[in-house]
Amino acid sequence: MIISVASGKGGTGKTTVAVNLALSLSNVQLLDCDVEEPNAHLFLKPKIEEEEPVYIKVPRIDKDRCDYCGECATFCQFNALFVVRADAEKDIEGNVLLFPELCHGCGGCSLICPRSAITEEDREIGVVKRAKTLDAHLDLLFGELQIGEPMPVPVIKAVKSKLDTRKTVIIDCPPGTSCPVIHAVYGSDYCILVTEPTPFGLHDLKRMVEVLKELKIPCGVIINRAGVGDEKVYEYCSEERIEVLLEIPYTRRIAELYSQGIPFVERIEGWELAFLEMVRKIKGAE
Ligand code: SF4
Ligand code: SF4
């Protein structure tokens, strides 16, 4: 079963839930798809066993073939190409400039170039790391997008390509509701939405629920920092018939463990069982 853990906004405790949930289960694989800021490994302190670079294809211009017609630049919707047209009278040499960080690697320019002047080459944008917790209980895969790179999706796809369906797979999704989240959550059997009982929490929860409706992925809610804020998240869940799976209270003890990078299931009795029962309930509802 594939269970994704998502939230409409950052800072709700999504990774805390993903890590504590994964530690409560056996035969489990945790995929950290929050590739712009992966931090599950900070809590798990695993041994990295393997690293695999992630590339996208970017164009390479053969200047001997190119006549600077400009068709590639016109075609590119991401303004990743700029063609300087040659002008002998003004003594301007032709050139094709590529802005690699804007290129989405769609391959279109190489297909439409009338002079077959464009080939493709690899550009590294990130890495996928495979790791195991020291007791070998948990397989962790996480992606890291290189600093300054704007496209997390290829790295997310590379992490998800390692998915092992023989295990219970937990996917820690990026925050928000845009493309990276859709790619991370896509294909899940169930999505746990982590929120907090505040107006911001409710606003972003609603957006994520709409996304999951479109994707036809069933969902339930974990309310983190329960006890702060108001009742509106509970009222919304009840109106929408979304199950509140668990509440994690706003306590000093949990906050302290978090600040020390210690998953609270390892130190506070009863939580492992609570996560286990929650998964049983989710599996039973399938
Ligand atoms: S489409 Fe091809 S020939 Fe035209 S400017 Fe681009 S690379 Fe050069
Ligand atoms: S591969 Fe696609 S995104 Fe990249 S430069 Fe060519 S047309 Fe633009």
Boundaries of every domain in the chain: 2-45+136-284, 56-123
Ligand 1 centroid–CA 65 distance in Å is 8
Using CA positions, which residue lies closest to atom 5 of ligand 1?
Answer: 68
Query: pLDDT tens for residues 125-147?
Result: 999 999 988 777 889 999 999 99
The residue type of 23 is: L
Q: Is the pLDDT of residue 203 over 80?
A: yes
Ligand 2 centroid–CA 74 distance in Å is 10
CATH T-level assignment (fold) for domain 2-45+136-284: Rossmann fold (3.40.50)
Ligand 2 centroid–CA 80 distance in Å is 6
Q: Is the pLDDT of residue 286 over 70?
A: no
Helix (H, G, I), strand (E, B) or coil at 80: coil
Angle at 285 between CA 203 and CA 174, to 5 degrees: 40
Query: pLDDT tens for residues 34-63?
Result: 999 999 999 999 999 999 999 999 999 999
Using CA positions, which residue lies closest to atom 4 of ligand 2?
Answer: 103
Predicted pLDDT at 285: 65
State the closest ligand 1 atom to the C-alpha of 109, by its place in the atom list counted from 1. Answer: 1
State the closest ligand 1 atom to the C-alpha of 59, by its place in the atom list counted from 1. Answer: 7
Name residue 118's beta-bridge partners. 61
Supply φ then ψ for residue 226, to 5 degrees: -60, 135
Predicted pLDDT at 192: 97
Q: What is the mean pLDDT of residues 200-208?
A: 93
- Is the Cα dihedral 29, 49, 15, 186 positive or negative? negative
Tokens read off for 261: 């990078």
Give the pairing of strands 95-98 and 81-84: antiparallel
Using CA positions, which residue lies closest to atom 8 of ligand 2?
Answer: 76
Mutation to probe ligand 1, out of 60, 67, 93, 103 (largest number of atoms < 8 A from CB):
67
Ligand 2 centroid–CA 102 distance in Å is 8
The residue type of 167 is: K
CB distance 52 to 128 below 8 Å:
yes
Q: Three-state SS across 130-187?
A: EEECCCCCEEEEEEEECCCCCCCHHHHHHHHCCCCCCCEEEEECCCCCCHHHHHHHCC
The residue type of 144 is: E
Given pLDDT bands bounded at 50, 70 and 90, which one contains residue 8?
confident
- Is the Cα dihedral 214, 219, 223, 224 positive or negative? negative
Query: pLDDT tens for residues 69-84?
Result: 999 999 999 999 999 9
Q: Is the pLDDT of residue 223 over 70?
A: yes
Query: pLDDT tens for residues 225-245?
Result: 998 888 999 999 999 999 999
Chain length of the chain:
286
Taking each helix axis from N to C end, the angle separating 271-284 and 14-24, rounded to the nearest 10 degrees, works out to 90
Name residue 97's beta-bridge partners. 82
Q: Is the pLDDT of residue 33 over 80?
A: yes
Any idea which architecture 56-123 has in CATH?
2-Layer Sandwich (3.30)
Q: Is the pLDDT of residue 181 over 70?
A: yes
Q: What is the mean pLDDT of the chain?
A: 93
Helices (H) and strands (E) in the chain, counts: 10, 11
Query: pLDDT tens for residues 114-125?
Result: 999 999 999 999
State the closest ligand 2 atom to the C-alpha of 77, by its place in the atom list counted from 1. Answer: 8
Tokens read off for 142: 């996480």
